[in-house]
Amino acid sequence: MGELYNKLAIDVRFIEGLKACLNCGTCTAICPAAEFYNYQPRQIVDVLQTHDDAAIENLLKSDTIWYCGECMSCVTRCPRGNAPGLLITVLRAASQDLGYFTESEKGRQQLALKRTVGKWILQYGYCLYPSEILPEMHPEQGPIWEWEHEHIEGVMDRLGANYNKSGPGILRKIPQEDLDEIGRIFDETGGTERFNTIEEYSKQKAAEMGLNLDDSPNSDYMKHIYTTNNKHHGKKL
Amino acid sequence: MKVEGKRRIWKDYQKEIAEDQYFYVRSCVRQNFFPASEKTFLRIMREELNKDVYENAAHTTCSGIGYHSDIVPFETTMTMVARQFALMTESGYHNFTTSCITSFGLYTEILETWNHFPEVEARVREHLRKATGREFTKPENLSHASDVIFKFRKEIADKGKYRLINQFTGRPLRGVEHIGCHYSKMFPSKGVGGAEYPYVLVGMIEGWGGEVIDYPERRHCCGFGFRQYLIQANRGYSMSCSKKKFDSMAPYKPDFILTNCPGCPMFLDRWQYTLSEMEGITYGENGQGIPVLTYEELAGMILGYNPWDLGLQVHQVPVEPLLDKMGIPYDAEQKFLNKEGMSMGKPKSPSFLKFY
């Protein structure tokens, strides 16, 4: 048993997620990601069961672990009570903590997630916030969202929200003392450290790739990771 | 599978849902995209059913989308959840009800984790104490808001002004139901009806006069996939999942899609628009889409609430065809007005999907 495997194996989600896999492939049969990407949750579990650190390290540096949508459909169907989707969460955590995530196109996207959802959690107390969901970044949201975004205060008011105001209610302004509590929870529990790690390794990778990365959402590296798709991720037919 | 067989399975998956005195926490996605659904939930609970539902203004996101995007560690999310439980405790409540399915799945997972690993619960309690000075007791009852509406579906039907009956034909309206993956796929015993044949939305549709369509991809994910939607480069995954469902349900000609997850109604609504723009496909009749509803919107329609109070104007796929079939009156001129009745302009019309 390798050192890397041991690191993964102490996570409670690993203990809960991997009992004994017989490689039947039921998880792959039900997996939405396996239909779209060149991806098989069965293979992920197979690699983990080898306890082979070199193979696991390759996995952590690959696009493969980032294909899962964490819908957890595999959990329902596994005849042995394994949870491949839960194992993915452990692998992704390790890939970031060890700085391996920047070695793959899909892994590098973590910085964009940290600088959007991660930032909004700490800044607003919400994972999403309407003024930040820009129609030009979300054409799929259609003309209805363009209209809503343009008239956000009027629309939210009409729909009964308490948008950006004090007190309870929909999209209320969360008091600063509560946001401060969130910040301290992140400091205490490793959330801040995870964010800093994502930033640090992403800056190294941006320099290595010769792409500008500053605090702006429009810096070259940010645009690159948000939009790049090398078209080689698909299911091989 | 025969209906009798499903009913036997449903009997095996009955969950306890509190009767009253709920501590309510909101959903990040729904507050952004379907805010009026949460407003309607509180209106039904407080004004129709005379229930005590309390919201503490200090509650925040549970960080679930961050957790499932893998930027937020499990330890952090568990402590964020512990803080929500602390607010419930401080407010004097014991029954925890959440608007969000991602949150519901996480609360369930975290409580199960603490049951299996008491040392993790002890560690989280210490984190919370150090970071906030707060303490908590675990909920006596955990429910999703759709569980609560399911519980009171008969009372809603009794008070209702409309039913899921096509006024033109006299026949039941036919719906497909889409359950959020994290409602019961991880912990089937925590959802009404389990994971394979959940009953939570079926019970509402049947209780309000409609018929449920069974179709091959009924349990397939809508395709949110967290990072698979949030990052533009990955969105093909998200849309492909929804397209698979639309292609599978369309031959059965559903009158509506009913959902209980925050993201699913948004994706099933918006991807119909996107597919129409990309490929000219529309899945409803005469260039229309299939209306997608939250369970509160449908409950509000049954109760005869003003469709624009329910937020039906912020759907990209218009709901008017269903309102017409149910015989629910609406004033099209009021659709895009603000609270004071003043114009806010109108959204542009899509290229193919019938909107006006």
Residue B70 has pLDDT above 80, yes or no: yes
Banded pLDDT at B233 (limits 50, 70, 90): very high
- Section B336-343 average pLDDT: 97
Tell me which chain A residues have a C-beta less than 8 angstroms from the C-beta of B61: 121, 125-127
Q: Which of B56, B73, B116 sits opposite A16 (nearest CB)?
A: B116
Q: Say if residues B199 and B193 touch (Cβ distance below 8 Å).
A: yes
Which residues of B, range 200-239, sit inside 8 Å of A by Cβ? 219-221, 223-228, 230-237, 239
For the record, the structure tokens of B87 come out as 């607010």
What DSSP designation does A231 have? S
For the record, the structure tokens of A202 come out as 């992403």
Using a 10 angstrom Cβ sphere, with 0-12 exposed, 13-18 middle and 19 or more buried, the burial of residue B47 is exposed
Tell me which chain B residues have a C-beta less than 8 angstroms from the C-beta of A60: none
Which residues of A, range 14-53, sit inside 8 Å of B by Cβ? 16, 32-33, 35-37
* Shortest CA gap A167–chain B (Å): 6
Banded pLDDT at B2 (limits 50, 70, 90): low
Concatenated DSSP letters of B233-283: GGHHHHHHHHHHHHHHHGGG--SEEEE-SSHHHHHHHHHHHHHHHHH----
The Cα B350–Cα B115 span in angstroms is 51
What DSSP designation does B337 have? B
What's the pLDDT score for residue A103? 98
What's the pLDDT score for residue B3? 67
Q: Which of A13, A75, A117, A187 to mutate to test the interface with B (most CBs of B within 10 A)?
A: A117
- Section B275-290 average pLDDT: 96
3-state secondary structure of B172: strand
Residue B235, C-beta contacts closer than 8 angstroms, at least 6 positions apart: A140, B228, B229
Q: Hey, is the C-beta of B9 within 8 angstroms of any chain A C-beta?
A: no
Chain position carrying tokens 């218009």: B318
Banded pLDDT at B72 (limits 50, 70, 90): very high
Residue B333, C-beta contacts closer than 8 angstroms, at least 6 positions apart: none
Q: Hey, is the C-beta of B196 within 8 angstroms of any chain A C-beta?
A: yes
* Shortest CA gap A122–chain B (Å): 10
For the record, the structure tokens of B279 come out as 């490929």
Q: Hey, is the C-beta of B129 within 8 angstroms of any chain A C-beta?
A: no
- Section A49-58 average pLDDT: 96
The Cα A188–Cα A164 span in angstroms is 28
- Section B247-273 average pLDDT: 97
- Residue range A195-223, pLDDT digits in tens: 999 999 999 999 999 999 999 989 999 99
Q: Say if residues B230 and A116 touch (Cβ distance below 8 Å).
A: yes
Q: Which residue of A has its CA nearest to B224?
A: A69
Q: Could you give the domains of chain A?
A: 3-98 (1.10.1060.10)
Task: Report ipTM (2 d.p.).
Answer: 0.97
The Cα A110–Cα A60 span in angstroms is 13
Residue B24 has pLDDT above 70, yes or no: yes
Q: Say if residues A188 and B127 touch (Cβ distance below 8 Å).
A: yes
- Residue range A1-46, pLDDT digits in tens: 689 999 999 999 999 999 999 999 999 999 999 999 999 999 999 9
- Section B69-89 average pLDDT: 98
Q: Which residue of A has its CA nearest to B349?
A: A143
Residue A89 has pLDDT above 70, yes or no: yes
Cα-atom radius of gyration of chain B, to the nearest Å?
20
Please name the residue ranges forming H helices in chain A: 3-9, 12-17, 26-30, 32-36, 41-50, 53-60, 73-77, 84-97, 105-108, 110-113, 119-124, 142-150, 152-158, 176-189, 191-209, 220-227
CB contact under 8 A, B61 and A121: yes
- Residue range B238-255, pLDDT digits in tens: 999 999 999 999 999 999
* Shortest CA gap A115–chain B (Å): 10
Q: Say if residues B303 and B160 touch (Cβ distance below 8 Å).
A: yes
Q: Which residue of A has its CA nearest to B118?
A: A12
Q: Could you give the domains of chain B?
A: 20-145 (1.20.1050.140), 146-334 (3.40.50.11810)
Q: Which of A27, A60, A71 to mutate to test the interface with B (most CBs of B within 10 A)?
A: A71
SS3 annotation, A208-225: HHCCCCCCCCCCHHHHHH
Banded pLDDT at B14 (limits 50, 70, 90): confident
Partners of residue B293 on adjacent β-strands: B258
Residue B90 has pLDDT above 80, yes or no: yes
Which residues of A, range 134-173, sit inside 8 Å of B by Cβ? 137, 139-148, 150-151, 154-161, 166-172
Partners of residue B97 on adjacent β-strands: B24, B143
Q: Which residue of A has its CA nearest to B187?
A: A76
The Cα B227–Cα B224 span in angstroms is 8
Using a 10 angstrom Cβ sphere, with 0-12 exposed, 13-18 middle and 19 or more buried, the burial of residue A223 is middle
Report percent pLDDT > 70 for chain A. 98
For the record, the structure tokens of B255 come out as 């009158």
Which residues of A, range 170-199, sit inside 8 Å of B by Cβ? 170-172, 174-175, 178-179, 181-182, 184-191, 194-195, 198
pTM of the complete model: 0.96
Q: Hey, is the C-beta of B35 within 8 angstroms of any chain A C-beta?
A: yes
The Cα A34–Cα A40 span in angstroms is 6
* Shortest CA gap B185–chain A (Å): 5
Q: Which residue of A has its CA nearest to B64?
A: A127
- Section B281-302 average pLDDT: 97
What's the pLDDT score for residue A236? 61
- Residue range A105-152, pLDDT digits in tens: 999 999 999 999 999 999 999 999 999 999 999 999 999 999 999 999
Residue A237 has pLDDT above 70, yes or no: no
Report percent pLDDT > 70 for chain B. 97
